[in-house]
Structure 1
Amino acid sequence: MSEFIVRCITSDCKVASGIVEKTVELFDMGSTIPFIARYRKERTGGLDEVQIQQISERLTYYRELQDRKGTVLKTIEEQGKLSDELRTSITNCSDKQELEDIYLPFKPKRKTRASIAKERGLQPLADLLIAQRADIKNKNEVLSRFVDPQKGIDTIDQALAGALDIISQDIADNASYRAWIRNSLSNRGTLVSKAKKEWAEKSSKFEMYYNFSELLKRSSAHRILAIRRGEAEGVIKWSIHADNDQLLAYLDSQVIRNKTFIFYKELLTAIEDSYKRLLFPALESEVFNAKCVEAERESISVFSKNLKNVLLAPPAGDKVIIAIDPGFRTGCKVAVIDGTGKFLTNTTIYPHEPQNKKNEAEKLLAQLVDQYKVEIIAIGNGTASRETDQIVRELIKNKQLDLISVVVSESGASVYSASEIARKEFPDLDLTVRGAISIARRLQDPLSELVKIDPKSIGVGQYQHDVNQADLKNALVFITEFCVNHVGADLNTASQSLLTYVAGIGPAVAANIVEYRNLNGAFKGRKELLKVAKLGPKMFEQCAGFLKIRNSKNPLDNSAIHPESYHIVERMAEKLECKVKDLIGNDKLLGSLQLSDFVTEEVGIPTLSDIVNELKKPGLDPRAEFSYAIFSDAINDLSDLKPEMVLEGIVTNVANFGAFVDIGVHQDGLVHISKLSDSFVRDPHEVVAVGDNVTVKVLAVDTKLKRINLQLVS
């Protein structure tokens, strides 16, 4: 790898060059980010997944930049215009935009006014004018030499106009000028949006942007993306307002060297033409698009944070669960699963209008609770959710049942129920029953169930359809992989969907693992993975530590200790004159170890510390303890809300401007960022996360617009 790339990544990521080199070596050897972060800490200096991902992204960026440099150098060299100075500028360039600015004058263009003028032989005249020689005294004498009717230049005015077109283009192509004006527009330009004429008197979701302006650099991501969407839908138009006099004065100062030059006024005309016709329109779009890219990154980052919190939500664990997918006319679909997530039975109840078979529904639910020893009733948060929750809570109270009722987000459940995955899992069940099963399983283990659903269907993103879809997909895959490998997977029960995200595996090998398991029964040990089709030694190295096996002959197979380190644990046991199994959970024995006794060239204190910590609590689930919110019985509809009410709720989404909270009225309320704390909050994610149980106070309710303003209490 080139020193240039190492130097750039070191600067961008604020990481020592030696660590960058070793991390890139691991990438080039086919190592995955989860594997590197957990099992190669000595080489990376203990970098976490986010830092390693950043190195990976910058590595891709600079390798693409180097490839582009090669193309640019070759193209300019073929034109015979590659000077030593230009070669150095290109070679040392560390920014894609800067490289394109350098290349712009040499980039093949479609026919322009300047290119036509050059074809007519007016480049020497343009060079003469831009040189601004003091000894030139007669305009006609200079211009008449370039009149040539055979080339389409019949008059001196045509000759002058063509030369000025060349100068205008050269000014517009100048990398330094473009960079200066781009920077000025980015930092001092004002973003202005107006309603299009046909929308000026109409209502729309973009009304706040009908007459809007603010400093571009202060425009938040959601406003930028909203303005872009409004333009795409033909409702508004945007522009960037700048101090044109200041920008023209800058260009004048750069181009004009002799104010007594006889073509001084003509040069000023060329500068103004270059700015208004070429430079400003191009840079206005470029700067706005750059701001959109920045906004997309921010939006994707928010989505990623929310997705991480949803996937790592505390699991209810191996409880027997009744799930209810509520509804009015078509009834409530009921499904029961056991502690492993296995489907047991299903039925439909009709406690609401128009059937109103409440007593029958309660009787049937009570029978299911008794028959299957149910511990939790999970209720989807869609239509009829609050009404169903009330009936269930009354049932629990009246029958004195030893169980709890929990409202669960059903976002994406319908997507799962119609998916190929669901059809394979439950080919004989109706879509609605599959949806109910999904609701139960996502309470039991959110991560295992939600990996089966496209993250974009989970409902925790803002403007997700307005961002670069490839970038969004990559970010969400990274977060999903992080969560799956952070928690780990049970090799003998994990679904194909979950196994797909385990480090190094992917969809094809995940399917092979499930097929092997179906044919041969449960895996007896981690080494048996090597018998799976297409799972070779390198893939085993990457995935083995994240796959756990309960009741394996080797107790270390149910830990996050990598098989490559089993010999270290065996040495520890030998040192303490005990068996490996005696070390597990034995703080006293483990505390007596001197880790320095086991340090080698490859294994240092970071890895040894991880091994000891894992031995203390092998297989510990890193997710928080399960908890749930209880909605008020008195609040079922928007009309029930009154200012100053204090209620429990669940955070359903977090955006840059605040957090949305479900308080049980079929419409989420907004806690604006200014109402999240008494002190200043820079990022709502610092205060709340998706899935948090919170207490909020109602500030205002607009039943017409269905808006609820809330304040976070705790």
Structure 2
Amino acid sequence: MISFIQTKTQLPESSIKNTIALLNEDCTIPFISRYRKERTGNLDEVQIGDIVKYKEEFEALEKRKTAILKALEEQDVLTTELKTKIEKAQDLTTLEDLYLPFKKKRKTKAETARKNGLEPLAKIIMSQNASNIEAIAFKYVKGEINSVDDALEGARHIIAEWINERTDIRNNLRNQLERYAMISTKVIKTKEEEEKAQKFRDYFDWEESLNRIPSHRLLAILRAETEGFIRVKIEIDKERALQKIENRVIKSNNACAEQIEIAIADAYKRLLLPSLSNEALQHAKDKADEAAIQVFAKNLKQLLLGSPIGQKRVLAIDPGFRTGCKVVCLDAQGQLKYNETIYPHPPKNDSIGAMKKISSLADAYKIEAIAIGNGTASRETEALIRKIHFKNDIQVFVVSEAGASIYSASKIAREEFPDYDVTVRGSVSIGRRLQDPLAELVKIDAKSIGVGQYQHDVDQTKLQKQLDVVVENCVNAVGVNINTASKSLLSYVSGIGPKLAENIFKYRNENGVFASRNEIKKVPRLGNKAFEQGAAFLRVKDAKNPLDNSAVHPESYKIVQKMAKDLNTSVEDLIGNTDLLKQINLKNYSSATIGLFTLEDIIKELEKPGLDIREEAKVFTFNQNIKTINDLREGQLLPGIVNNITNFGCFVDVGIKESGLIHVSNLSDAFVKDVNEHVHLHQQIIVKVLEVDVVRKRIQLKLHH
């Protein structure tokens, strides 16, 4: 396993060995990457994630080897040579090729020919030294076989199967598919005019190299095929492929060779190409999935680590026209204090009443910030709010409401607000997203947040796994206040999970707030392992021991106490005191288990304990003159917010219904390798309008530097 993982990752052997040992002890990735740097050689969570991935890949390979060896033993066909080859196989493709000749087959043409006694004839043809093959074939005309032609055809079916099962031939063809395969599409004529088909117009007649096709295009083509609008074909140069097989198989120039040539063409068309072109397409799809999942993961990470305004009193509005705007007031902890509906927009147009209402609520609940959802009627509501003269300085934010409707109808929302309907819950979610995006977004299935491309077309298990890892890493990177966190947030803390999160929640409700980290051990079923994995990511504000509100692990408290003692000061006075911290010689505190990596982390944490790694939220205003796509003109410079990132560019909200696209080529004058290096989600940028297609509702933009 170690050498398999090392080949794939190029990481040092000792790092891999120790990481696997920690994983086998049920340690989590955030815990290992943060608190076991000495053992892993300072691997980060991405490298540890890779070790986990290849460990699972290796285990799956070993499991398949065991199953195949057992099947071959049962069939009594397992030779020493075959066993060695199977044990040495480094990937599933090689393994399945070795197993192919022995696989239980459904009724094939070759199987029928064997039953009719034609295998000896096939062997004679393959030996390629019989001169009058028809005369020999005549001996096999009996039973089901009515003529020499029948006999030769049956023998060719057996030869075609032998050719199909040859590993060298399969690998050669794989190699050609990998390098030269073309993917082409044709529209299904009867579907061409359907409205749904129009978004796939570009692929009605398309061709490009399979190993160069970008992931988003391949996924779009496969979706169009699944929906029944196009046919997809994978092809290589047939003449060249046949020639390569003939060179490997045909060694003479007689009637046998002619029969083999026909069998090769049949094997290629009927067996090799269909199976190997499917395999090549699946490989390309896996690669495209991988790329799309990576884009999604990066976007999700940026979204979860979005800027919080922190514990401030918020008035949140879920805007709407006919149904009105749902308004809620939240306290600094995100608790709902008041809710009401106002109707400032058509058809009721009660803008005066609405402004008065908002103004009086802002006073009554000492509101510090206003959050407006970015859906229908968002711009109109924002314009209304900006007309109000508030007594105090109130910041106004437009908040993405992606997935808010999913949250408001969820079991979590029903538990939090059993007495309120979905509209009120949706507004609360918008307000809380402003206070702390991470704490609110973890309540929604990451796939519903709507950042990414073709998320329903990629491998769902792989996607879910990757997104769970991202959420877990983000939650643990920020840390969680154990006394205010929801069950959803707690469940992502290293070592905790849904069951213990439930128990923490119950304990808190029955016994009041946790006064220290040590008290966490009183939670039912929370044993030493869970405490070791999770304690340092759980923060206790205003605890007696100030380290309880830091990322210092309880196992290192003694070291910090010793540092303070050696400096003749208390832990409280050491925290945040840069001058004192600079005097510490870390080598004096290094031991077999805690080395310089961990000690440097401790000092960093003592400088700014519990510091939030996220930026602070900034207010943003769209151009108030741009209300619909018809107001856009080429050359305009506009403020915008990045609302989605893909491999081919990023989408930008400029304050109207349609998002504009900055194609990757318009992000910079230099070559752009990774879109994320130039922009990040929710970044406030200035864009230049390049082109507006009102009919197709498409806006092309350029990043203005």
Same fold flag (TM > 0.5): yes
Q: Residue in 2 aligned with 1:220?
A: 214
SS of match in other structure, 1:238? strand
1-structure distance, mates of 2:211, 2:36: 40
CA distance in 1, matches of 2:469, 2:538: 18
Task: Identify which of 232, 246, 255 aligns with 1:252.
Answer: 246
Q: Provide the rounded CA distance (Å) in 2 between the counterparts of 1:340 and 1:240.
A: 57
Q: Is contact 2:650–2:664 with CA below 8 Å preserved after alignment?
A: yes
Give % identity: 48
Deviation string for 1:8-42 (max 9, x for gaps)? Answer: 10010110111111111111111111111101111
Asked if residue 316 in structure 1 is aligned to residue 316 in structure 2, the reply is no
Supply the distance in 2 between the matched residues of 1:694 and 1:9 (Cα, whole angstroms).
42
> What does 1:89-238 align with in structure 2 at a 5 Å threshold?
89-133=85-129, 136-149=130-143, 152-202=144-194, 204-238=198-232
Q: Does the 8 A contact of 2:429 with 2:440 survive in 1?
A: yes
CA distance in 2, matches of 1:569, 1:401: 44
Q: Does the CA contact (< 8 Å) of 2:396 and 2:619 recur in 1?
A: no
Note the alpha carbon deviations across 1:392-421, whole angstroms, 9 max, x for none: 11214xx57511211111111111111111
Task: Give the number of equivalent residue pairs.
Answer: 703
When structure 1 is superposed on structure 2, of 699-708 and 446-455 the one drifting more is 699-708
Structure 2 partner of 1:363: 356
Q: Aligned-pair RMSD on alpha carbons?
A: 1.4
Deviation, structure 1 residue 693: 0.8
Q: Which runs of 5+ in 2 are unaligned?
A: none
- Counterpart secondary structure, 2:688: strand
* 2:288 equivalent to 1:288: no
Paired position in structure 1 for 2:433: 442
CA distance in 2, matches of 1:639, 1:407: 22
1:574-632 per-residue CA deviation (whole Å, 9 max, x = no partner) reads 22222222211111111111111111111111011111111111100011222232101
Normalising by structure 2, what TM-score?
Answer: 0.98
Residue 339 of structure 1 and its aligned partner are, at CA, apart by 1.4
Structure 2 residue aligned with 1:700, among 679, 688, 691? 691
State the distance in 1 between where 2:259 and 2:296 align. 53
SS at match of 1:528: helix
CA distance in 1, matches of 2:114, 2:66: 28
Distance (whole Å) between structure 2 residues aligned to residue 177 and residue 596 of structure 1: 61
Instruction: For 1:343 and 1:288, locate their aligned partners in 2 and report how far apart those are by CA, in whole Å.
Output: 52
Q: Which amino acid in 2 is paired with 1:367? A: S
* Inter-partner Cα distance in structure 2 for 1:87 and 1:66: 13
1:287-341 Cα deviation digits (max 9, x unpaired): 1122112211211111111111100001011111111111111111111112111
Letter in 2 for 1:494: A
**Are 1:274 and 2:267 counterparts?**
yes
Match of 1:584 in 2: 575
- Secondary structure at 2:352 match in 1: helix
2:286 counterpart letter in structure 1: V
What are the residue-to-residue correspondences of 1:165-564 with 2, within 5 Å?
165-202=157-194, 204-258=198-252, 260-396=253-389, 399=390, 401-564=392-555
Q: Distance in 1 between matches of 2:433 and 2:311?
A: 12
Q: Secondary structure at the match of 1:217?
A: coil
Deviations along 1:106-159, whole A, 9 cap, x unmatched? 1111110111222233223222322223xx33324433444443xx33433333
Counterparts of 1:589 and 1:401, CA distance in 2: 41
**Paired residue for 2:50, among 54, 69, 72?**
54
One-letter amino acid of the structure 2 residue matched with residue 188 of structure 1: Y
Task: Give the 3 Å change call, closer, same or farther, for CA 202–435 of structure 1 in structure 2.
Answer: closer
Determine helix, strand or coil for the equivalent of 1:466: coil
The 1-side partners of 2:535 and 2:120 are apart by 70
The 2-side partners of 1:35 and 1:363 are apart by 51
Q: Tell me the SS of whatever aligns to 1:464.
A: coil
Q: Which amino acid aligns with 2:365?
A: Y
Match of 1:280, SS?
A: helix
Instruction: Kindly report which structure 2 residues correspond to 1:592-607, keeping only aligned pairs within 5 A, or say none.
Output: 592-607=583-598
Moved more, 347-356 or 399-408: 399-408
- Match of residue 638, structure 1, among 619, 624, 629: 629
Using the alignment, how far apart are the partners of 2:309 and 2:693 within structure 1? Answer: 36
Of the three residues 650, 675, 698, the one matched with 1:659 is: 650
Q: Is the 8 A contact 1:209 1:227 kept in 2?
A: yes
Identify the residue that residue 86 of structure 1 maps to in structure 2.
82
Contact 2:295/2:645, CA 8 A, preserved across alignment:
yes
Closer, same or farther in 2 for the Cα pair 1:101/1:628, shift >3 Å?
farther
The CA distance in 2 between the partners of 1:534 and 1:119, in whole Å, is 64
Give the whole-Å Cα distance in 1 for the aligned partners of 2:645 and 2:471: 18
- Displacement after TM superposition at 1:483 (Å): 0.5
For residues 453 and 575 of structure 2, the distance between their equivalents in structure 1, rounded to whole angstroms, comes to 45
Deviation string 1:49-82 (CA, Å, 9 cap, x unpaired) is 1111111011001011011111112222333322
TM-score by length of 1: 0.96
Name the stretch that deviates more: 621-630 or 222-231: 621-630
Give the secondary-structure state (helix, strand or coil) at the position aligned to 1:87: helix
CA contact (8 A) 2:126 2:256 kept: no
Letter of the 1:505 counterpart: I
Q: Deviations over 1:334-357 (max 9, x none)?
A: 111121112111111111111111
Q: Matched residues in 1 for 2:142 and 2:19: separation?
A: 64
Q: Is the 8 A contact 1:90 1:102 kept in 2?
A: yes
Shift of 1:93: 0.8
Q: Deviations over 1:525-572 (max 9, x none)?
A: 112111111211111111111001011111111111111111111221
Q: Which amino acid aligns with 1:6?
A: I
Q: Distance in 1 between matches of 2:193 and 2:330?
A: 55
Per-residue deviation, residues 256-314 of structure 1 (Å, max 9, x unmatched): 122x2431111101111100111111112221122112211211111111111100001
Query: What letter is aligned with 1:547?
Result: L
Q: Structure 1: any 5+ residue segments left out of the alignment?
A: none
3-state secondary structure, aligned to 1:465: coil
SS in 1 for 2:370: strand
Rounded Cα–Cα distance in structure 2 between residues aligned with 1:477 and 1:219: 28
Structure 1 residue aligned with 2:24: 28
Residue type of the alignment partner of 1:653: N
Pick aligned residue for 1:11 from 7, 11, 16: 7
Q: Distance in 1 between matches of 2:621 and 2:210?
A: 43
Opposite residue 143 of structure 1, the aligned amino acid is: A
Residue 41 (structure 2) pairs with residue 45 (structure 1)? yes
8 Å Cα contact 1:628/1:693 also seen in 2: no
Secondary structure of the equivalent of 2:21? helix
